[in-house]
């Protein structure tokens, strides 16, 4: 029979990789706690309407990347392609925005029907960080500092920060006209994708990765030259705060984001180490979004980190020993020992917190179990035979250094295991 395979672009994270993922997630949790952010766990499915209204009709995501389906009741649902909309929806629904700010984060899978390639998948994971109810550039700076701290914490080097300001909705609308005028004059230079976007989402053309458009886009009008006074002041204050905090950045006037809800500050962290998919984190302000999806007027800002790309950077860096292997492999040989093995193992687990112990009370002779013990990479083999059972002892054999072995009474075994576990941390 033909074996069933996973869906294209949706990958298993195998046990060999989960230690790196956990290291990343633990670091993120600790850093976020240090800035007073709280974890939110929204569902992965939302009403399609939520993303249409927030991400925007004329975006790649809504036009062609959403996993949308009708449930058995005919309700139109979507596997979330991003998480800001869900966080905002939850904050409005639970009334968290009344008169106070909310600092939230979430880690989980997102779904986009994109062309799968290195660094781009159909199920991928993001760390999402959102600060709702804060108007000032100080919170944009806080988010950037938090990101920088996470990179340092993970030992990642060479991440560049690019920032831009998209101004208010009004500025965006008038800039859009200017840009369309310019691009229409240069219409023959546009590629097919950009031609299409000229009518629907012209700002996004600035973000085109097509090198043949570069010179023409380089000369296009820049939104930063058309900012209103409040947007300009906000952007300048942000830059001053970053500089005062020792954060290096580049203003990239062509940095726009792929989602419609951004206003004012936008930013990306970029690496050159991953080829084409170099953006590891993107975010910015979305001061209009809460109101647009039915909440009270609420300024807000946030970012999302692509975790697959961070994991790839971590795996390319210096190798880290992840202490995951078992401390001990308990093998029972003989009828009585097989019957008593779990009782002994439970006793050891009671007595030695954090002990990683594998129990082999299955079929097989001594030789076969010894082989399995070796394969398990355990530091110790604990042999429980008929003699040991009778005398309430265990034979303890060191696996990696010549196989020295000794018989231990159970209290001595517990002491020796405790030492080993506290050494391995």
The answer to whether 62 and 50 have CB atoms below 8 angstroms apart is no
Identify which of 260, 262, 282, 259 has the alpha carbon closest to the alpha carbon of residue 270. 282
Residue 350 CB, nearest approach to ligand ATP (Å): 43
**In the complex, minimum distance from the CB of residue 134 to ligand ATP, in angstroms, rounded to a whole number:** 20
> With respect to ligand ATP, which residue has the nearer C-beta, 258 or 295?
258
Tokens 């900012």 — which residue?
Answer: 227
The two three-digit tokens of residue 172, written as one number: 């965006």
Q: Minimum distance between the CB of residue 62 and ligand ATP, rounded to whole angstroms?
A: 12
Between 101 and 119, CB nearer to ligand ATP: 119
**CB 425 → ligand ATP: shortest distance, Å?**
32
The Cα 87–Cα 106 span in angstroms is 9
Interacting residues with ligand ATP (CB under 6 A): 82, 112, 114, 119-121, 124, 126, 257-258, 277, 279-282, 304, 306, 308-309
Cα separation, 333 vs 115, whole angstroms = 53
Copy the structure tokens of residue 96.
């968290």
Burial 289-318 (b: 16+ CB within 10 A, else e): bbeebebeebbbbbbbbbbbbbbbbbeeee
Alpha-carbon span 260 to 284, nearest angstrom:
11
Which strands, in side-by-side order, build the sheet including 328-332?
357-360, 328-332, 380-384, 393-398, 405-409
Min. distance of Cβ 51 from ligand ATP in angstroms?
12
Residue closer to ligand ATP (CB basis): 121 or 134: 121
Question: Helix 229-244 and helix 137-153: axis angle, to 10°?
Answer: 30
Query: Are the C-beta atoms of 205 and 190 separated by less than 8 Å?
Result: yes
Distance of closest approach, residue 10 Cβ to ligand ATP, in angstroms? 11
Q: How far from chain centre, in Å, is Cα 11?
A: 15
The residue among 112 and 197 lying less far from ligand ATP, judged by its C-beta, is 112
In the bound state with ligand ATP, the residue whose beta carbon lies nearer, of 89 and 327, is 89
- The smaller minimum CB distance to ligand ATP, of residues 144 and 361, is found at 144
Identity of the residue, 273 or 414, whose beta carbon is nearer to ligand ATP in the bound complex = 273
Q: In what order do the strands lie in the sheet with 38-39?
A: 38-39, 102-111, 123-132, 300-306, 279-285, 265-270, 160-165, 250-251
Q: How far is the CB of 132 from ligand ATP (least distance, A)?
A: 18
Q: How far apart are CB 296 and ligand ATP at their closest, in Å? A: 25
Which CB sits closer to ligand ATP, 168 or 277?
277
Q: Which is nearer to ligand ATP, 82 or 260 (CB)?
A: 82
Cβ at position 116, least distance to ligand ATP in Å: 8
Closest-approach residue to ligand ATP (CB): 306
Q: Residue 58: exposed, middle, or buried by beta-carbon count in 10 A (0-12, 13-18, 19+)?
A: middle
């Amino acid at each position: 029979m033909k074996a069933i395979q996973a869906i294209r672009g949706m990958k298993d994270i195998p046990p060999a990789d989960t230690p790196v993922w956990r290291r990343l997630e633990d670091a993120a949790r600790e850093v976020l706690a240090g800035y007073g952010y709280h974890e939110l766990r929204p569902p992965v499915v939302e009403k399609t309407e939520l993303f249409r209204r927030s991400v925007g009709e004329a975006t790649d995501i809504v036009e062609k990347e959403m996993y949308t389906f009708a449930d058995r009741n005919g309700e139109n649902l979507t596997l979330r392609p991003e998480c800001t909309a869900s966080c905002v929806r939850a904050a409005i629904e639970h009334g968290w925005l009344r008169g106070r700010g909310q600092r939230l984060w979430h880690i989980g899978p997102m779904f986009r029907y994109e062309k799968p390639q290195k660094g781009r998948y159909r199920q991928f994971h993001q760390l999402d960080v959102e600060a709702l109810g804060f108007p000032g550039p100080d919170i944009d700076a806080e988010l950037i500092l938090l990101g920088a701290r996470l990179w340092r914490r993970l030992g990642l080097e060479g991440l560049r920060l690019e920032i831009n300001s998209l101004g208010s909705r009004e500025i965006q609308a008038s800039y859009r006209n200017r840009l369309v005028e310019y691009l229409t004059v240069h219409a023959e230079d546009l590629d097919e994708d950009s031609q299409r976007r000229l009518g629907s989402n012209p700002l996004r053309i600035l973000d085109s990765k097509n090198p043949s458009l570069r010179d023409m886009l380089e000369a296009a009008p820049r939104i930063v030259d058309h900012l209103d006074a409040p947007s300009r002041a906000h952007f300048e204050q942000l830059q001053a705060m970053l500089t005062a905090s020792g954060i290096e950045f580049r203003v990239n006037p062509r940095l726009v984001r792929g989602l419609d809800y951004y206003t004012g500050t936008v930013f990306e962290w970029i690496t050159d180490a991953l080829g084409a998919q170099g953006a590891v984190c993107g975010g910015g302000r979305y001061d209009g979004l809460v109101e647009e999806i039915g909440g009270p007027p609420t300024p807000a800002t946030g970012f999302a980190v692509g975790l697959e790309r961070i994991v790839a950077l971590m795996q390319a860096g210096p190798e880290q020993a992840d202490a995951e292997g078992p401390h001990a492999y308990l093998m029972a040989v003989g009828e009585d020992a097989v019957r008593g093995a779990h009782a002994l193992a439970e006793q050891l687990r009671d007595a030695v917190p954090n002990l990683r112990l594998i129990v082999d009370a299955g079929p097989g002779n001594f030789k076969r179990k010894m082989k399995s013990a070796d394969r398990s990479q355990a530091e110790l083999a604990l042999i429980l035979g008929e003699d040991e059972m009778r005398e309430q002892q265990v034979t303890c054999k060191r696996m990696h250094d010549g196989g020295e072995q000794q018989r231990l009474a159970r209290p001595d075994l517990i002491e020796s295991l405790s030492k080993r576990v506290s050494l391995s941390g």
